[in-house]
Amino acid sequence: MKGNFPIERFSGIETPFYYYDSELLRKTLNTINDEAGKHENFCVHYAVKANANPRVLNIICQAGLGADCVSGGEIEACIKAGFAPSKIVYAGVGKSDWEINLGLDHDIFCFNVESIAELEVINELAQAKGKVARVAFRINPNVGAHTHANITTGLAENKFGIAMDQMEEAIAEAERMENVSFVGLHFHIGSQILDMGDFEALCNRINELQDQLERHHIKVENINVGGGLGISYDHPNREPIPDFKSYFSTYATKLKLRPGQKLHFELGRAVVAQMGSLITRTLYVKQGTAKQFAIVDAGMTDLIRPALYQAYHKIENISSDLPCETYDVVGPICESSDVFAKAIDINKTRRGDLIALRSAGAYGEIMASQYNCRKLPKGYITEDL
């Protein structure tokens, strides 16, 4: 089964480009709001690093989600898209002074702080502005996740966060400072996680840490568990909306929230991945010695995930209903790693056919580059066409 594409509306659009199914995006957002809304004090922020297309951001903002930013540029994009600063959280191990000042100027909800050195700078910059910055400490829970090594973030050797044994020291340091206010703890264990047991393990660790803090009479207003929920790259047509019910239920049943505590989530891929496809055109079909290549006009500059992570994206020839043949689907970039897939079966491909790389709404357009002096791909939502 292929995806449902308005192919007749693609004519005249220069390939490669990203197509975003805005109807699916809105259905996904409605599901998130419905499932999270079953649980009191659940607050969902969208992780902007997944996709910062302005039209996409605007739809997410209209659905009432907050924003999780990891750069000053993302904060600016969110403000422009209409997100309330009171719903913006800002994380990242290397916040520069101008980015911190930007967050202070807009009075964002909080900074997710990843080192005591960073805390000192935030306090200093806030003091210069006569402000008090709200901060949450990102604690490294040393919880592994069943996902790719490059997108696992919660182990002790990762660069992110503050070690658990430094947590109380960091909180005490914040309480000594006049221009920061400790408002919560932040965690994140990785991305593309499909095993709810990984999230259960995080809940167990947070429960332990909360018990430890309470023994020292330290109360925490907000718990932020990051995101990490994965999607089905294998079956985007059968499973277009991730299992948000199980995801939120896991935290509702396994995490021991204290009275009045708010629980924050930072979902990215799960929100936008399935609604996006990279649309490319077949340039040539090349017969090799033992295989044939479908050479398309998109490359690793447009979608780097297969080259970077050896990531799988379902590929469909949306122009053809001919019997399937086996191809290596490759791009035009002068790199041997510019390969989207090897030995896959798709409908017989001819020059000019439109090829869709599915589940590309997350970490696709946003990670595009101009290597080989190529143009950046444009992104279109359904209403644009």
For residue 152, is pLDDT > 90? no
User: What does pLDDT average to over the chain?
Assistant: 95
Query: What's the residue count for the chain?
Result: 385
Type and span of the H or E element at 208: helix 196-215
- pLDDT above 60 (res 31): yes
Q: Average pLDDT of 204-220?
A: 96
Position 349, amino acid = T
Q: Quick one: pLDDT at residue 160?
A: 72
**pLDDT tops 80 at residue 30:** yes
- Report, as an integer, the average pLDDT of 357-385: 98
Q: Return the minimum-mean-pLDDT range out of 128-132, 141-145, 204-208, 221-225.
A: 141-145
Q: Report whether pLDDT(147) > 80.
A: no
Report the distance separating Cα 224 and Cα 91, nearest Å.
Answer: 11
pLDDT at position 157: 55
pLDDT tier, 151 (very low <50, low <70, confident <90, very high otherwise): very low
- Quote the pLDDT of residue 62: 98
DSSP 338: -
Query: Tens of pLDDT along 236-262?
Result: 999 999 999 999 999 999 999 999 999
pLDDT tens string 81-90: 999 999 999 9
HEC-encoded secondary structure of 5-54: CCHHHCCCCCCCEEEECHHHHHHHHHHHHHHHCCCCCEEEEEEHHHCCCH
> β-strand 42-47 against 110-113: which pairing, if any?
unpaired
The stretch 221-230 carries a mean pLDDT of 97
What local confidence, expressed as pLDDT, does residue 154 receive? Answer: 39
Q: Of 53, 52, 38, give the one whose Cα is nearest residue 384.
A: 53
Percent of the chain with pLDDT over 90: 92
Is the pLDDT score of 159 beyond 90? no
For the beta carbon of residue 301, count every other beta carbon within 10 angstroms: 24
pLDDT at 45: 98
- The pLDDT assigned to 143 comes to 83
DSSP state of 190: B
CA dist list (Å): 142 to 157, 224, 286, 352, 383: 8, 16, 48, 50, 44
Q: What type of residue is 341?
A: A
Tokens 């946003």 belong to: 366
DSSP H helices in 116-195: 116-129, 167-176
pLDDT in tens, 124-144: 999 999 999 999 999 999 886
| C-alpha neighbours within 13 Å on the C-beta side of residue 24 | 25
Residue whose pair of structure tokens reads 């017989």 in the numeric block? 348
Q: Is the pLDDT of residue 156 over 70?
A: no
Look at residue 145 in the predicted model and tell me its pLDDT: 59
79, 106 contact by CB (below 8 A): yes
**What is the CB neighbour count within 10 angstroms for residue 353?**
20
- Residue span(s) of the chain under CATH 3.20.20.10 come to 22-272
Summarised one tens digit per residue, pLDDT across range 324-344 is 999 999 999 999 999 999 999
Alpha carbon of residue 287 to chain centroid: 38
**41-78 tens-digit pLDDT:** 999 999 999 999 999 999 999 999 999 999 999 999 99
Which residue intervals of the chain bear CATH 2.40.37.10? 276-384
Q: HEC profile for 228-286?
A: CECCCCCCCCCCCCCCHHHHHHHHHHHCCCCCCCEEEEEECHHHHCCCEEEEEEEEEEE
- The superfamily (CATH) of domain 22-272 is Alanine racemase (3.20.20.10)
Radius of gyration of the chain (CA): 22
Q: Where are the beta strands (DSSP E) in 73-203?
A: 88-90, 110-113, 133-140, 162-163, 180-186
Output the DSSP codes for 59-81. HHHHTT-EEEESSHHHHHHHHHH
Are 319 and 284 contacting, i.e. CB atoms less than 8 angstroms apart?
no
Rounded to an integer, what distance in angstroms lies between the CA atom of residue 192 and that of residue 160?
17
For residue 142, the model assigns a pLDDT of: 83
CATH number listed for the domain at residues 276-384: 2.40.37.10
Q: How far is CA 234 from the centre of its chain?
A: 19
